[in-house]
Amino acid sequence: MTQDRLPAALRILQWTLGLVILAESARFAYSPGAAHAFARTGLPDFVRLALAWAEIGAAILFLVPRATVAGGWFLIVVLAVAIVLHLLHGWLDVGALVVYAAATWAVMAGKSANAEKRT
């Protein structure tokens, strides 16, 4: 891939990732099925809502051009917490969360590289 197409590819990855996480987080916050599944963890429901709203906030920040890096770090922290909660409760289906975190990191690295290149 040539260098002139890299910023566009990263922007597409950023928007795709941000919108997918935003949709999944909203579903996690508002879906009765998600609430029922989360109730089996034994954790209070406010933990589910706090995690969902933190993901929503981080995804929105990640989509704002000037806040992409800060939102990305916030998103990685929230995804790491979600991964830990999954693993502690014996849910080994963390593949998507790991991919989301890696894609977030890639977008942030690309943003930093482009910023350094311009200066």
Mean pLDDT in order along the chain per 10 residues (119 residues): 79 97 96 90 92 97 95 97 92 94 96 71
- Quote the pLDDT of residue 2: 58
Domain that holds residue 79: 6-118
**Number of domain units in the chain:** 1
- CB proximity list for 119: less than 8 A, separation 6 or greater: none
Supply 66's token pair: 């000037």
Q: Establish if 31 belongs to a structural domain.
A: yes
Q: Which residue has the tokens 């992409």?
A: 68
- Quote the pLDDT of residue 4: 79
- CB proximity list for 94: less than 8 A, separation 6 or greater: 83, 86, 87
Q: How far apart are CA 81 and CA 64, in angstroms?
A: 23
- The answer to whether 13 and 108 have CB atoms below 8 angstroms apart is no
Q: How far apart are CA 97 and CA 111, in angstroms?
A: 21
Answering whether pTM is above 0.85, one says yes
Q: Establish if 56 belongs to a structural domain.
A: yes
